[in-house]
A and B are shown apart, each in its own frame.
Chain A
């Protein structure tokens, strides 16, 4: 089945690769579908995809770890069950509902409570805050993606930390460690591979998310989609496909969009291979029967 998917994606994109050249398509920055001026380059959307996912990861992973730590190590058991239940409910909310909520509610919070203060404080001194924010930008997209992946990452982390044998913690406590020290020196190293796996899964979700991103990222095309500030409008590979696939009537345009799909596919593969290598490297820490997850 994967072969079918891969095959049809690559067959569909042959036309654009022969038109622009593989390198030309990957490094080009123009995107013009107007008849007679066709020119397609994927670079800005690769950058946009990586940037929005990076923001999501930077915000999402620490918070997820915090949640998982709280639920599995710190909170009283009576509190842990409802919290993890609620977090898992978040994982079940369809992404289109996140999208509508972000568009109608959340983007105003972000703009007024986070972006405007940052802009007012730093727009002269720090270039990444130098753009007047509208709430429809890379930063908003990154944060909403983070909110979307937190339940996924934190619930897996919680499971992984739960299977860390108690003997590990007890050993740390017997050396006089505080609760946090026990988590840091006994639980985290043990659960490292699993946490990494969770993060990778979240990253995969963030990279491929479509409708939600389309609603909040500002959707610029061409060279302008390479973000210069945190508050720039941008575009990701999947949002561009979603935006233009329905309306693409020329074969070349269609092929260019499927070409973006091929790039996305390769990006996903790279992330997966990288994750596997990392996990393999780290898995050398002692693991019990249930450790390798």
Chain B
């Protein structure tokens, strides 16, 4: 190979490399653009939803709307007070049931259970429970609780919702506790602290923000559920009157109002949707702030 040939070869190689490099850069840019397009594509629906809800819902808002029971349908009088109260009661009760049980089950699975057959089965069933359509849970709630008690009730709704929430809390708790470095636990052992204390005071405290995120996710999920509520709490135009009676809830009220022929009922429906979104988002932001305050943050999502 003469030196000229060699030089030529080098030039060709150089050109080739340059060309390849250019395609690689172009691909890189294309992918970046694609990713950006994805982001925009996902944000458009959110913008549209929020815009639509605010546009249609804001005009309904007033003090009366938030506190009064509904006037006769189509009159445009009254408000959705019972639905707001009912959502707080049912969702609150459901999370009071689901949170301790879910967190304890998550602790059990991550700290005490190991990898035996029983925990594996529990984990598997728990995963299935997360994928179970809420309507099936509604049917179960109706068949086991409503028919058993002989009446639609707060209990039936809260228990059904807690069945939906619990597996989410279990999974997130388990996964978050798992990421807590072993060194922390070992430090506890080295100090001679009991396992229960280590779990409660060291592991759980460290993983607090993750667990809180999980609870928040669970509450957000059940606050928006409609199908199980149709079959368990019935709905009412009256304020809460006892745990054994029917109660109202926002998603249920939106669903019912949307199927009425009156413009004023639709406006109420959008207003209720706005309140529901604000409640769920407000709670999410609150939990996020609560979680962010902690020093050591370990995060996980369901």
Spell out A's residues near B (CB within 8 Å): 1-5, 8-9, 12, 62-67, 69-71, 74, 83, 86-98, 100-101, 104-106, 147, 150-151, 154-156, 159, 178-181, 183, 201, 204-205, 207-211, 238, 241-242, 245-246, 258, 261, 264-265, 268-269, 271-272, 276, 289-290, 293
Contacts and interface: CB of A to CB of B under 8 A. Distances in A.
Given A96-B226, A96-B255, A101-B48, A268 B135 contact: no
A242 B37 contact: no
Given A2-B128, A210-B133, A8 B143 contact: yes
B277 A241 contact: no
Contacts of B190: none
Interface of A is mostly: helix
B166 to A, nearest CB: 8
B155 to A, nearest CB: 16
Given A97-B273, A208-B135, 13 more contacts: A2-B128, A67-B38, A74-B32, A93-B49, A94-B223, A101-B48, A154-B42, A210-B133, A211-B255, A245-B139, A261-B135, A272-B131, A293-B300
B52 A92 contact: no
A290 B49 CA distance: 36
A268 B131 CA distance: 6
A70 B302 CA distance: 21
B191 interface: no
A150 B133 contact: no
Contacts of A204: 130-131
Contacts of B43: 83, 86-87
A86 B230 CA distance: 30
6 closest pairs, A vs B, by CB? A94-B224, A66-B38, A208-B133, A204-B131, A70-B35, A2-B125
B28 interface: yes
Contact of B52 (A70, A94, A105, A293): A105
A159 B299 contact: yes
Interface of B is mostly: helix
B27 interface: yes
B31 interface: yes
Contact of A97 (B34, B127, B276): B276
A209 B133 contact: yes
Contacts of A92: 220, 277, 280-281, 284
Contacts of A245: 135, 139, 231
A205 B46 CA distance: 19
Contacts of B49: 93, 97-98, 101
A265 to B, nearest CB: 7
A66 B37 contact: yes
A210 to B, nearest CB: 5
A210 B135 contact: yes
Nearest to A238: B133
Nearest to B228: A210
Contacts of B144: 4, 8
